[in-house]
Amino acid sequence: MPERPADRTKELVLLMTQHQRRIFSYIYTLVPDRHSAEDILQETSLVICEKFSDFRTGTDFAAWACQIAWWQVRAARTKFARSKVIFDEKVLEAVAATAAELAPEQSARHEALSRCLQKLNPRDRELLMTRYESGVEEAARRTNRSLVAAYKALTRLRKLLHDCVTNALTSEAAA
Amino acid sequence: MNAMTDSERVELNELISALVDGRGTAAEHTRLEKMLAASDEARRFYIRSMAMSASLFEHAGEMQGELPEPSNVVPFSDWSRWAAPLAAAAAVLLGFFLARGFLAPVQPANAEEQPESVAHLSGSKDCKWIGAAPGSGDELTRGRRLELESGFAEVTFDSGAQLTLTGPATLDLRSAWEAELQRGTLKANVPPEAIGFRVTNAAVEVVDLGTEFSMTAEEGGAAEVFVLKGAVEVQPHGNGVEQPRSVLREKQARRFAKAGASDVHDGDKKFQRYAAKIAVERMAHPLNYVRWSFDEGVGDIAGAVSNSANSSELRLGKSGEHWTQGRWGGALQLNGQPAVQVKLSGALGRGTRSLACWVRLPVEASISGAEAFLTLPLNHPPQSWVEFSWNSLPGDGVLGALRMQTRQGAAVGTTPLRDGKWHHIAAIFGQPAKKANKALTKLYVDGRLESFLLKQSAHRGSGEMPAGLDGALWLGGLPGGSTGATMAVDELLLVDRQLSPPEIRHLMQTNQLISAEILAAN
């Protein structure tokens, strides 16, 4: 019996709920500017809606959605051609290929990041959370740092978290 | 490239961090590209770092504070206005984005920073006040109680609703859309743009459906409602229990008391009394303005009319077709070319100002093309500016609605503009001189107040004020940008004070600034 449209809509929303971060992350990796990446995510989502009848239930939704996102990023290249937030075509393709390879580990890294964030001291955590919520200036203001000091601290904290997440996954794999 | 060295890893981390924070230089971008092209390890590090930042955006969003005040939440009826034209699945998804929290509605930056002004005293006659007396034109804040001992006072709410109080009367101002009559008599004149305005008291809640009505409130708690034109919806509160809502139409009146609703005693006489025009005195407040009508139709210069600025013509550049059919005569067609500027002088360049124009956006304009179409400097805080665009971030509000962005946050309207039709927009912005920490924010679309809050949201890009913005208005995009907005603009007006809702409505309906004579006669 064919599925009812209401079931398909429910399925679409469910799949988007599960995979939206991964799709955004993929786009953000290719277009490293949050607002531009969000714009492309919106356009991608609309295309996903339009083409959802082509999606076969049971196959990899995130991979299918990232394919759509890829073409949206390509289409946006014209707009970003003179901007610094887009890569050279060859680099873009190489990054996209590597991103596809790393896709399976993303959820685990996201979960590990939550745990690593808890290990930061409160002032560093506030700096980081405010940075991602309200921008660097506000983060510097709230934590009584100069802008330059905030940039330096953020660079340090990102490396710290990156290593923490990698170590956590390595330990889990070894266990 | 083989395995990266430690110093390369450090360098790569710094390059990525600079990129994420929007402070990377062109040289650093080139260096990053080179590293990514050459090394699989670099690409893996880069992708994991960017994915981590994407996760951090989500974590930070999840840690945001409490929900917005109910008054800041767009009511369902307004959602349906923009959601309806979308395909069902797309609407579901957009709703999903808003509900999901990933692109969560941003919160007011700080309650103290929110504008408190909800109305102003627009007219008066023989007023004697109890307590602090408001002056003509004074802004009236949320929660303010007006106690009129005798005389007549006209209060214009930011929504456009006008209440004329007859003393003795006590009125509490709840918001731009609501007032509570404690005692006395008021007459409400509510234009179509303010439908939904409500007046409450202990006995009844009256919701306007586009009308003129009178209401009296007795000290004992009873109230009488008289509909002079149109209709109102009433909800009695008798015995402290919510009663069924009903609609009162023109020439109908009801009395509401604890014991319940009843007919009004001496209704005809009271109708006659309340229907009589109350002639309050209104003061016309002077303004300086500059205006571009865009009626040239040929050439590459848009001339201006001003009562204060010397030369305000806009030089549009040699390339492309600049003109199109407008809402009133011709209009300016923006085709994505870089922005053009005009210097602002005197009060037009600083302080509280209003801006109004007609805009026409292409149907379903591309989301990635949501460029600022107007940019102006603000005098406070230093190095700050305001950008007008249409909203491309559903997390901040309705997709395609008018968006006003400042360093303190973004205000987003509720009417989707991407429909190929002309819409009148008016915005009030800037910092009143006496209230350095109170940014004025009011957005009107097609005469209706759609937003009065700046919610936390940052400018795009580095957050630095674009070079060349100081002292100038930029039309079509941001200074120095290689691309600009795609849309049509007509009858652009900048004035050096706040325009009132009746002034905005008059401008929208007649394309003229309201004169002192018309103001007095209305």
- Inter-chain touch B458–A135, beta carbons under 8 Å: yes
Name which of B4, B6, B13, B53 to mutate to probe chain A: the one with the most chain A Cβ atoms within 10 A of its Cβ.
B53
- Inter-chain touch B89–A106, beta carbons under 8 Å: no
Give the tens place of pLDDT for each residue, A72-113: 888 887 666 555 567 888 899 999 999 988 988 888 999 899
CB contact at 8 A, B492 and B291:
yes
B36 closest CB neighbour out of A84, A94, A137: A94
Rounded Cα gap, residues B349 and B471, in angstroms: 6
**ipTM greater than 0.85:** yes
How close A91 gets to chain B, by Cα (Å)? 5
Nearest to B173 by CA among B206, B144, B136: B144
Name which of A27, A74, A80, A134 to mutate to probe chain B: the one with the most chain B Cβ atoms within 10 A of its Cβ.
A134
Residue of A nearest to B64 (CA): A133
* Domain range B289-512, CATH class: mainly beta
Domain map (residue ranges) of chain B: 6-52, 113-275, 289-512
Which pair of structure tokens corresponds to residue B103?
């692109």
Domains B113-275 and B289-512 share a fold: yes
Q: Residue B466: which residues within 8 A CB-CB, separation 6 or more? A: B375, B385, B478, B479, B480
CB pairs < 8 Å spanning A and B: 177
Please give chain B's pLDDT, 522 residues, in tens: 568 888 899 999 999 999 999 888 888 888 999 999 999 999 999 999 999 999 998 888 664 432 222 222 222 223 232 233 334 444 445 444 433 333 332 333 333 334 478 999 999 999 999 988 888 888 898 888 999 999 999 999 999 999 999 989 999 998 898 999 999 999 999 988 888 899 998 888 898 887 899 999 998 889 999 999 988 988 887 665 666 788 899 899 999 987 788 899 888 889 988 888 888 888 777 888 999 999 998 888 899 988 876 678 888 877 668 899 999 999 999 988 888 888 887 778 878 899 999 999 998 777 777 788 999 988 777 778 899 999 988 778 888 899 999 887 889 998 889 989 999 999 999 876 554 456 678 999 999 998 887 777 776 665 677 777 778 899 988 887 778 888 999 999 999 888 999 999 999 999 998 876 666 666
- Measured over the CA atoms of residue A163, residue A164, residue A165 and residue A169, the dihedral's sign is positive
Judging contacts by C-beta atoms under 8 Å, the chain B residues touching residue A169 are none
How close A29 gets to chain B, by Cα (Å)? 6
Q: Residue B187: which residues within 8 A CB-CB, separation 6 or more? A: B163, B164, B166, B212, B213, B214, B228, B274, B278
Nearest to A24 by CA among A71, A83, A55, A66: A66
How close B85 gets to chain A, by Cα (Å)? 14
CB atoms within 10 A of CB A80: 18
How close B22 gets to chain A, by Cα (Å)? 8
Residue of B nearest to A88 (CA): B33
- Inter-chain touch A90–B37, beta carbons under 8 Å: yes
CATH 3.40.50.300 fits B113-275, yes or no: no
Domain map (residue ranges) of chain A: 5-86, 106-174
- Inter-chain touch A162–B13, beta carbons under 8 Å: yes
- Inter-chain touch A151–B40, beta carbons under 8 Å: no
DSSP B480: T
Nearest to B441 by CA among B428, B450, B432: B428
Judging contacts by C-beta atoms under 8 Å, the chain B residues touching residue A102 are 44, 47-48, 51
B60 closest CB neighbour out of A25, A95, A133: A133
Residue of B nearest to A102 (CA): B44
Per-residue model confidence (pLDDT) at position B421: 93
Judging contacts by C-beta atoms under 8 Å, the chain B residues touching residue A155 are 13-14, 17-18
- Inter-chain touch A136–B21, beta carbons under 8 Å: yes
CATH number for A5-86: choose from 1.10.10.10, 3.40.190.10, 3.40.50.620, 1.10.1740.10: 1.10.1740.10
- Inter-chain touch B36–A28, beta carbons under 8 Å: no
- Inter-chain touch A158–B52, beta carbons under 8 Å: yes
B92 closest CB neighbour out of A9, A28, A91: A9
Residue of B nearest to A26 (CA): B51
Residue of A nearest to B24 (CA): A84
Residue of A nearest to B369 (CA): A79
